[in-house]
């Protein structure tokens, strides 16, 4: 991508009403556009980050047998009434509307009910199980507070997965398999060392659950962590009974601000019983299916990565999710030897399959470097007069500020196989 053709523009200031660091930086850098509190548009650079996070999640869900689909966001009132979750007293984040044809419709904040209903068409016997399906869906939640930027939105992208099993043993085996799968996702995103499987309340889903909480100063949760034991407890369920069940003493726990990046819920058979999702067991008797639900906040992760890695100059993307691997910055004028050398190198990088954002604009070196720091690509390659003459280019690592010089063939060989 030539930066001169990128319709978004960096800006010096974020909107005055935006208080969250993650949204301020993403807006200034042209990754997102704020529509209203808690609602953001993802622009070309931001969408590339979202898509790369999705692909990492997709690969790890596929690895444990997940099958991808996409469901409607529109929700039938009568379906949710079966589980009592249409009621605003039970679930207080519904967006609802009147249908012109009569009746009410809801806008999906979660999909357990409709996906359970759908499965009646495909599973009838224990022989049809186990099944695990997932989607990347835009969720709508009528949050009272929306002050954490894209970390708590009224509209956001979530990966939600649902498992169906014929018996408790296979259900629990799958439930447990999602824990290391999730941790692989977070490790690939660069936050694995600061993310903990956390004992938590189930909220509108079930009595207890497991959350994946990442230590983050901007996080809205409080988590108590015993680092040596790898045990974490959400503040909401921190009591003597929980401590005894988990085998940890209060003095072993440290308090941290954390952001919830994922969660898993064990529904047992109750959800299927409420929905009438039954299968024939090995004795030929009807039995409710065992169900689980598993979420990862895709767009929330974008915000968490910004909060974790950004510095005083701007964004700092982990290589796994950066929109482009390198930011090629030309310091010449249109038509001069420096620009010609940069153009040629850009074409070489493109042919080698290296994801490159090329700053080919006619601007000062200082302005280009400042904007490059704001955009946060992992590496900046500078093409100035010396590089044009010698063929050796300055490569700056964004996260550390380290500066090295390499020849074009070395650079292409490294980034083409990165």
**203: pLDDT confidence band, cut at 50, 70 and 90?**
low
52 token code pair: 């790369």
The pLDDT value recorded for residue 44 is 97
Mean pLDDT across 279-290: 95
Mean pLDDT across 335-360: 95
Mean pLDDT across 41-52: 98
Q: How long is the chain?
A: 418
Integer Cα distance of 209 and 213 in angstroms: 12
**95: pLDDT confidence band, cut at 50, 70 and 90?**
very high
113 token code pair: 């009910």
Integer Cα distance of 44 and 48 in angstroms: 6
CA 143 to chain CA centroid, Å, is 19
| 315 assigned to some structural domain | no
Residues 179 and 297 in one domain: yes
Residues 181 and 137 in one domain: yes
Residues 177 and 73 in one domain: yes
Residues 108 and 243 in one domain: yes
The pLDDT value recorded for residue 395 is 96
69 token code pair: 């689909």
Q: Evaluate whether 302 touches 315 at the Cβ level (below 8 Å).
A: no
| 270 assigned to some structural domain | yes
The pLDDT value recorded for residue 202 is 65
Residues 132-185: tens digit of each pLDDT: 999 999 999 998 877 789 998 899 999 999 999 999 999 999 999 999 999 999
| 317 assigned to some structural domain | no
| 207 assigned to some structural domain | yes
Residues 176 and 234 in one domain: yes
CATH of the domain at 412: 3.40.50.800
Number of domains in the chain: 2
**How many C-beta neighbours within 10 Å does residue 251 have?**
6
| 320 assigned to some structural domain | no
With helix as H, strand as E and coil as C, how does 107-147 read?
ECCCCHHHHHHHHCCCCCEHHHCCEEEEEEEEEECCCCCCC
Residues 91 and 150 in one domain: yes
**47: pLDDT confidence band, cut at 50, 70 and 90?**
very high
Residues 213 and 273 in one domain: yes
Q: Name the residue range of residue 123's domain.
A: 3-309
| 387 assigned to some structural domain | yes
Q: Evaluate whether 198 touches 233 at the Cβ level (below 8 Å).
A: yes
Mean pLDDT across 341-348: 95
CATH of the domain at 90: 3.30.930.10
Average pLDDT, the chain: 94
């Amino acid at each position: 991508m030539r930066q001169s053709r990128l319709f978004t523009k960096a800006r010096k200031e974020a909107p005055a009403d935006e208080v969250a660091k993650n949204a301020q930086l993403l807006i200034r850098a042209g990754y997102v556009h704020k529509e209203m509190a808690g609602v953001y548009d993802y622009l070309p650079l931001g969408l590339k980050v979202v898509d790369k996070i999705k692909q990492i999640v997709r690969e790890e869900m596929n690895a444990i047998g997940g099958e991808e689909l996409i469901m409607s966001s529109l929700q039938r009132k009568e379906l949710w009434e079966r589980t009592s979750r249409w009621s605003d007293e039970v679930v207080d984040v519904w967006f609802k509307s009147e249908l012109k044809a009569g009746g009410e419709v809801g806008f999906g904040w979660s999909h357990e009910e409709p996906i359970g209903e759908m499965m009646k068409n495909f599973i009838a016997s224990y022989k049809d199980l186990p099944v695990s399906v997932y989607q990347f869906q835009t969720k709508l939640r009528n949050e009272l507070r929306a002050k954490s930027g894209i970390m708590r939105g009224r509209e956001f992208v979530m990966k939600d997965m649902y498992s169906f099993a014929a018996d408790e043993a296979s259900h629990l085996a799958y439930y447990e398999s999602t824990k290391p799968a999730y941790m692989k996702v977070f490790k690939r995103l660069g936050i694995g060392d600061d993310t903990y499987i956390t004992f938590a309340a189930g909220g509108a889903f079930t009595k207890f659950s497991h959350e994946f909480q990442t230590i983050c100063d901007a996080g809205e949760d409080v988590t108590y962590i015993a680092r040596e034991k790898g045990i974490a407890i959400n503040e909401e369920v921190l009591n003597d009974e929980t401590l005894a069940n988990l085998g940890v003493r209060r003095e072993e726990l440290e308090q941290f601000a954390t952001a919830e990046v994922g969660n898993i819920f064990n529904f047992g058979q109750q959800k299927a019983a409420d929905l009438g999702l039954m299968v024939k067991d090995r004795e030929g008797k009807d039995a409710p299916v065992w169900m689980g639900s598993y979420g990862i906040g895709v767009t929330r992760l974008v915000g968490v990565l910004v909060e974790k890695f950004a510095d005083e100059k701007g964004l700092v993307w982990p290589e796994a999710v950066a929109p482009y691997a390198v930011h090629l910055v030309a310091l010449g004028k249109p038509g001069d030897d420096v620009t010609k050398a940069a153009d040629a190198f850009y074409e070489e990088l493109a042919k080698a399959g290296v994801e490159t954002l090329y700053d080919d604009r006619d601007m000062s070196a200082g302005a280009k470097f400042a904007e490059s720091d704001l955009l946060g690509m992992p590496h900046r390659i500078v093409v100035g007069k010396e590089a044009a003459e010698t063929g050796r280019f300055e490569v700056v690592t964004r996260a550390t500020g380290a500066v090295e010089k390499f020849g074009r063939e070395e650079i292409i060989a490294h980034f083409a196989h990165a």
